[in-house]
Amino acid sequence: MDTMASLQGLIGGVLIGLSAVWLMATLGRIAGISGILSGLLWERPAGDTAWRLAFLVGLISGPSLVMLAGGGAGNVVAEPGAVIGAPVGGVTTMLVAGLLVGLGTGIGSGCTSGHGVCGMARLSPRSLAATVTFVAVAMATVYVVRHFPGGTP
Amino acid sequence: MKTLPGYVAGLLFGLGLAIGGMTDPTRVIGFLDVAGDWDPTLIFVLGGAVMTTFIGYRLVWKRGVPWLAPRFALPTRRDLDARLLGGAALFGVGWGLSGYCPGPAVASLAGPSLPLVAMLVAMAAGWWLARRV
């Protein structure tokens, strides 16, 4: 096990938790990325759009600042210290995956942040069930892609 | 008034994803690949996030109301239904194929690539479609 990678994971996790607590303390909202951004794109409720746009800008500026700081605080497998890892597939794979992620998190009312972090912290039975389901299905998907005969190793 | 706290929340989230290694799909798939060379990093990210949020939420809820909104907006449903579990399963397939869930996918725009942009466009289309099925 890579101790440094795990430690960075823990620090990153605490920062994500602080983000969720901050958003609840100030705006009273769940820090669910799919809900915040799909609402920003396709709903734009009055008085509820500017903070979502600001959240989106902040979300992209986080990794940008780590890159600009240049201290090698990223945690990429192939290049220690780098911040953004390369996609694992081409455009076709990503189009299929993106559609499934959007459709699934839209229908299922949340993703890794809304269900996995905030919902689990609220001890919500729906979020626990959703999290177990998407983690198990994602593991099964990776198994099929990587380990079935004919899959890419 | 709500804009600055929204930005701070996004910034903290983006910093956490970057430092935790979640903006590297290889790390995420390394966690999901339980039959391969397993990478536990995601467990530390999720564990740190859930523990911090668990404690922090309870401190915040004790105040009764948020600072800049009239009330806490919390989901109240507790039942399991086909949309929740079916949606989570579809999401799981997409997550396993790409190693991107929505947060890391968007945050990775800090270092854009063509496959990433394709992922985000399709994800936005998926959100649109989900509002119509």
**pLDDT tens per residue across span A64-110:** 999 999 889 999 999 989 999 999 999 999 999 999 999 999 999 99
User: To probe the interface with A, which of B77, B117, B119, B133 has the most A CB atoms within 10 Å?
Assistant: B119
* Residue A1 predicted with pLDDT over 70: no
Q: Do A15 and B124 touch (CB under 8 A)?
A: no
User: To probe the interface with A, which of B19, B77, B85, B121 has the most A CB atoms within 10 Å?
Assistant: B19
Query: Looking at beta carbons, which residues of chain B come within 8 Å of A95?
Result: 118-119, 121-122
Q: What is the pLDDT of residue A66?
A: 97
Query: Distance between CA A115 and CA A33 in Å, rounded?
Result: 10
User: What is the amino acid identity at position A124?
Assistant: S
Closest residue by Cα to residue A54 from B18, B67, B10: B10
Q: Do B103 and A33 touch (CB under 8 A)?
A: yes
Q: Nearest chain B residue to A83 by CA: give it.
A: B18
Q: Residue B41 — φ and ψ, nearest 5°? A: -50, -45
Q: Where are the beta strands (DSSP E) in A1-153?
A: none
Helices in chain B by DSSP H: which ranges? 3-20, 25-32, 41-61, 82-98, 102-107, 114-130
Q: What is the pTM of this model?
A: 0.97
Q: Do B10 and A17 touch (CB under 8 A)?
A: no
Q: What is the pLDDT of residue B24?
A: 98
The pLDDT tens digits of the residues spanning A106-130 come to 999 999 999 999 999 999 999 999 9
Q: What is the pLDDT of residue B4?
A: 97
Closest residue by Cα to residue A15 from A75, A81, A62: A62
Which residues have C-beta within 8 Å of that of residue A101, sequence separation ≥ 6? A111, B91, B94, B95, B98, B100, B101, B102, B105, B119, B123, B126
Q: Do A27 and B34 touch (CB under 8 A)?
A: no
B122, A102 Cβ separation under 8 angstroms: yes
Residue B7 burial (10 A CB sphere; 0-12, 13-18, 19+): buried
Q: How many CA atoms lie within 13 A of B41 on its CB side?
A: 30
Q: How many domains does chain B have?
A: 1
The pLDDT tens digits of the residues spanning B13-64 come to 999 999 999 999 999 999 999 999 999 999 999 999 999 999 999 999 999 9
Look up the domain containing B114 and give its range: 3-130
